Structure 1
Amino acid sequence: TLAEEVLNHKLDGAFVIESDFHPDLVSHEVFQERLVLISDMRPSTLAELKEEPFLCFSKGCGYRARLEAWYKDQNITPQKMMELGTMETILQSVVMGLGVTFVPESSVSHMEQSGLIQCHKLPDQYSKFKIVFIRRTDTYLTSTIEKFIETLETNKQVQWNH
C-alpha cells in the first residue's frame, strides 16, 4: 500500500521492507533486521508452537507474509489466525498466552530480557530483511530530501561497521 501511495504521488517516500519494487521507484537501504517468532513463557518446542494461533496484522503486512511463507514451506496450516489492529495488542496477547507472532527482534528484546516472552529463531530466508526508504525515481529532490538520503546513507555505514 505504501509503495502504491508513493507511485501515485500521495507520499513523497516511505519506509518499507525491501522487495522487488516497481521500476519507477528507487530504494535506499536504511537498516537490517531479524524477525523472531515469539511466544509466552510456557516451555514449548517449535513443533508445539506451530499449533498455536497466529496473531497478526491484516493481509499486506510484510511480517505476516514472511511467517506465512515459512508455514507454507513447512506444510503447516495454522489452526487459527487472529487479525489484530495494533502491535501493542498483538504483543500483550502473546504475553497472555493467546498465540504466537513474528516481529522484529529489536522491538521485543526488552520483553524477552524482562521474562515476558520467548524468542524463537527461524531460518534466515524467512527472518532476515532490510528496511528501505523508497521514493519515485522521477521526483525532484529538494535539498531537504537530499540531506535526508545522505543521513540515511551515513547512518547505514555506521550501523553496518559496528
Structure 2
Amino acid sequence: MGRVVNNVCSMLVTAPAVAIISSQNVLAAVGAALVMFVGIAITLLGQLGQRADDAVMQDGLPLATDDLGGDLAPTCFDPEPVEAAELTSDERLDAFVATFGLTERERDILEVLVVSDQSVQDIATTLFLSRSTLYRHISSINKKAGTASRVALINFFWSWTPKD
C-alpha cells in the first residue's frame, strides 16, 4: 500500500513542479517549495506525535510496532519469571513466549526454528510466508530476546532456564 501512495503522490507533485519550473517564474517556484516543505514538516511531526502516543499505550493494549515489526514501547521491562522444573519442549516454548512477550505468530516461527533443520526458504514455505517476512519476524524475536542472530536465538532458547 505504501508504494501505491508514494506513486500517486509522486504523480500529483511532478506535474505542477514541471509546470512551475518550465514557466521560469522564480516567485512561483519558491512559493511551491515553501508549501511542500511545510507539508512535509507537518506530516513528519504528525507521525512522531502518533508514535509517541502509541508507545505510551501499554496497559492491556497491544503495543504499536514499526514497519519491521519491532516494538516502539520501551524495552526496559522485567520479564515475569516462570517455574524452573524439568520442562518438555512445548512447556519450555510456552514459558519462553510468556517471559519475552512473543506473539502467537512469533511463537509458531520460533517453534519451527528450534525443532527444524530446514533452510530459511523451506521454513518460509512451510509457514506460508515470504523470506523477508520470516526474517522480519525473526528480527522481532531477536529484539525481544536480546539476541543478535538466528543461530544465537536458537542457542539462547536451548540454554535459557526459566527463573524461579
Greater strand proportion: 1
Greater helix proportion: 2
TM-score norm. by structure 1 comes to 0.21
Higher relative contact order (CA 8 A, sep 6+): 1
Question: Rg: which structure is higher?
Answer: 2
TM-score norm. by structure 2 comes to 0.21
